[in-house]
Amino acid sequence: MFSDTLRHNVQSLRGLKTRMLDTDFLLTWEKSHDELAATVLAAEILKELHRERISTRVFDGGLAISIFRDKSTRTRFSFAMAASMLGLSLAELDEEKSQIAHGETVRETANMISFFTEIIGIRDDMFLGEGNKYMKEVASAVTEGAEKGVLHRRPSLVNLQCDIDHPTQAMADLVHLMDRFGSFDGLRGKKLAMTWAYSPSYGKPLSVPQGIIGLMTRFGMKVTLAHPEGYGLIPEVAEIAAKNAAQSGGSFKKVATMEEAFKGADVVYPKSWAPYGVMQRRTKLLKEGNKPGLVELEKECLANNAKYRSWECNEEKMKLTKKGEALYMHCLPADISGVSCAQGEVSKGVFEKYRIETYREAGNKPFVIAAMMLLSRFVDPVTAIERLGKSSK
pLDDT at 389: 75
Q: Does one domain contain both 135 and 199?
A: no
Q: Does one domain contain both 217 and 118?
A: no
Q: Does one domain contain both 149 and 75?
A: yes
Q: Does one domain contain both 218 and 236?
A: yes
356 has pLDDT over 70? yes
CATH code of residue 313: 3.40.50.1370
Helices marked H in the chain = 4-14, 33-51, 74-86, 106-112, 131-147, 167-181, 184-187, 207-216, 235-248, 258-262, 276-288, 291-305, 315-318, 348-363, 365-377, 381-391
Output the CA torsion sign for 287, 206, 129, 229. Answer: negative
- Please give the DSSP secondary-structure letter assigned to residue 151: S
Q: Does one domain contain both 28 and 125?
A: yes
**What's the domain range around 254?**
168-363
Q: Does one domain contain both 81 and 111?
A: yes
Q: Does one domain contain both 216 and 259?
A: yes
d(CA 134, CA 116): 21
1 has pLDDT over 80? no
Q: Does one domain contain both 248 and 299?
A: yes
393 has pLDDT over 60? no
Most confident of 94-98, 100-104, 224-228: 224-228
pLDDT at 292: 94
Q: Does one domain contain both 93 and 195?
A: no
pLDDT at 100: 78
Q: Does one domain contain both 277 and 312?
A: yes
How many independent structural domains does the chain possess? 2
Residues 49-59, mean pLDDT to the nearest whole number = 95
Q: What is the largest CA-CA distance in the chain?
A: 64
Residues 81-87, mean pLDDT to the nearest whole number = 98
298-348 tens-digit pLDDT = 999 999 999 999 999 999 999 999 999 999 999 999 999 999 999 999 999
